[in-house]
Amino acid sequence: MTRTGAGQVYGFTENHQSTIIASGFGAPAYSDPYANSVGGVTGIFHFGFDGEFPRAPDDAPAGAFSTTVIDFKFNGVVSSPDNTIISLFDPGSGDAGLTGPFTYNFDAFYQGAAIDTSTWTVTVVDPYPPTGTPTNYTWNAATATYTLSSFPSATGGNFPDTLVFINTNNTTFDRLVLTANGLATDTLGVGFGSANVPNLPVTLRKTWVNGKSGDTVNLTLAGAGAENPTPGTSTPPSTTTAATANGLPGQTVTLSETFATGSAANYTIAWECRRVSNNSLVASGTGANGSFSMPADSGVVCTFTNTRIAQQINLAKTWQNATVNHAISATTTGGTNNPTLAATANTSNETDVGAAVTVYAGDVLTLPAETFSSGSQANYLTAVACAGGSTLASGSTGRQLTISNGTAATTCTYTNTRQPVVRLQKSLPLGRFVATDQFALSVVGPGAPAPVTTTGSGSTANGSVIVDPATIAAAYTLSETAAAGANLGNYTVSWNCSNAFAGGQTPSGNGASFSITPVAGDDLTCTLVNTRLPLADLSITKTNTPGVNGDIDQANDTLARGATTTYTIVVTNNGPDAVTGAVLRDPAASRTGLNCPGPALCSGAGCPAANLPLAQLDTGVTLATLAAAPPDNRVTVTLTCAIQ
């Protein structure tokens, strides 16, 4: 402390949690209850001129103007004391000749800049008899000026010797300039009651970047440099109770965070500590633990920044044996962002890919059932699986995917495999054996509809039985029966199945009944093929007057004995099928009264030989193939005989 005109410098030091020890002075000059309660000290040291009392300046004339400059240093570093109480002395009994006014003005500075004193307050007490605290004073907080307007008139040893306490309310300053005007001989003592070293606060805060709702961390300050630490907590997005402590210069302060809920593995964690005074960096690092050496002249603010690990995710759709133009949509729920997918089966087998979005480690996404805008879920088996940074085994929809702390992208693929379809239809490649023939088609098995009876004529058979969807691994029996009036014996029956599912089963066989067991993806169309037995309209004529009477022998035809005549036998196939193996007989009994030496001559594609012995005609000649249409649909046999 330096006072102008006195030529004397008063120095003081302060130890942690002890009262001020001033050089050249002993016990505190005053011990006052107010000072004890506000300043937290057992006494207040007052520094005046070296004289009869530590507070009694007597080397300045009455009414003089005086300036006192006080610079504060703690542990060798310029700073401000904590809980500072400034004490002034009003004029005492030896100054009765002064009338006032008396003014005391303070200018406070921190790092060379004037500070705001508007929060400073004044309390005036008179602990010495006779009591009589003056009321004719004012306090201007904005200018930090205390004014006693006039000297009160009274008698008594110390009256009106009073104490004026100015509470700086923890304002930070490192220089205090006191200007006093109207000094009395027994006046101007200034003291400081400070029990603590400068307040060097340490604050530990928390910043979340895309923090997960519900996560909670505990914040802790510790170490030799953290006095009276108070823990803190924080939850995303920004709810934080900071951890605090009083920093002890030169000592190590440690900081840490621990997860009460959630996982540190879902975040990258960084920390930094900066000076309060100028925001310069004190220390920084990564991870959930750190430390720094406490500076002597500034508080410190530390911040843990937790950035949740990001990952890209998208949905995809794989169609297997789909019905073209079936369409679905799906959107996950539960994520910070939720991928969506809209997919249409433009072909039966394809994969459609949705756009990626950003999610974060620890997000839990629900993979919902698809919504069909065209088609039906009942037509498909659906499974979903996720691969990449986050994985989920193939399985049902509605399950949850927890996003990992990896950064590789993830794709969740919905696979729709067509439920089996079984169809039964009819084919009549040669038409009906009887024009009115119809057939009852039947499928027996889970979900199969009622039998269907065909309609149509000729080779057209309308009607089919469809099981859609069929049940995987269930046995189905497909069969036909003849509808009223038809006879399956008139047909040879076979069956075959085609499959629209690439690589799927394609069974086939013979008979009017068979069984199949569909698997996933099968799209079976099974056909019962009824091939009617051959139909032939064979005609035979025999005449010795060809070209007359439709080649039918004339009833009244007569021939003279001894004459020669030629009989022509014509076998014609009028269709609709070719005939092989027809047997031609011309018994000898039919030739009574005739002498036919033979052999008969045979012409036409169906002839087994050009010459046919009469004995062969008698027993039967097996013909070759007679076509269903000219020119190879007939055989002509001629036999020349003499009339007896």
Query: What does the pLDDT look like over 579-604, one tens digit per residue?
Result: 999 999 999 888 888 999 989 999 99
- Determine contact, residues 203/244, Cβ cutoff 8 Å: yes
CA-closest candidate to residue 144, choices 127, 169, 174, 111: 169
pLDDT band per the 50, 70, 90 thresholds, residue 54:
very low
- Determine contact, residues 234/334, Cβ cutoff 8 Å: no
Alpha carbons 341 and 365: distance in angstroms, whole number:
14
Alpha carbons 262 and 501: distance in angstroms, whole number:
48
What average pLDDT is seen over the chain?
Answer: 83
Task: Collect contacts of 234-240 with beta carbons under 8 A, ≥24 apart.
Answer: 234/206, 234/208, 235/211, 236/208, 236/211, 236/212, 237/208, 237/211, 238/208, 240/205, 240/206
What per-residue confidence (pLDDT) applies to 289?
A: 98
- Segment among 225-234, 330-339, 506-515, 584-593 with least mean pLDDT: 584-593
Gyration radius (Cα) of the chain, Å: 60
Determine whether 349 is exposed, middle or buried from the number of CB atoms within 10 Å of its CB (0-12, 13-18, 19+).
Answer: middle
Q: Cβ atoms within 10 A of the Cβ of 483, count?
A: 15
What per-residue confidence (pLDDT) applies to 168?
A: 79
**Is residue 94's pLDDT more than 60?**
no
Higher pLDDT, 321 or 390: 390
Question: How confident is the model over 356-372, as a mean pLDDT?
Answer: 98
CA-closest candidate to residue 270, choices 304, 244, 236: 304
Determine whether 530 is exposed, middle or buried from the number of CB atoms within 10 Å of its CB (0-12, 13-18, 19+).
Answer: buried
Please write the tens of the pLDDT for every residue from 447-484.
999 999 999 999 999 999 999 999 999 999 999 999 98
What per-residue confidence (pLDDT) applies to 157?
A: 42
Q: Phi, psi (5° rounding) for residue 81?
A: -75, 160
pLDDT band per the 50, 70, 90 thresholds, residue 13:
very low
Q: Cβ atoms within 10 A of the Cβ of 234, count?
A: 25
| H or E stretch covering 424 | strand 421-427
Half-sphere exposure of 79 (CA within 13 A, CB side): 22
Alpha carbons 119 and 374: distance in angstroms, whole number:
74
- Determine contact, residues 440/481, Cβ cutoff 8 Å: yes
- Determine contact, residues 527/425, Cβ cutoff 8 Å: yes
Alpha carbons 42 and 436: distance in angstroms, whole number:
127
Higher pLDDT, 54 or 304: 304
Alpha carbons 410 and 396: distance in angstroms, whole number:
18
Alpha carbons 324 and 552: distance in angstroms, whole number:
66
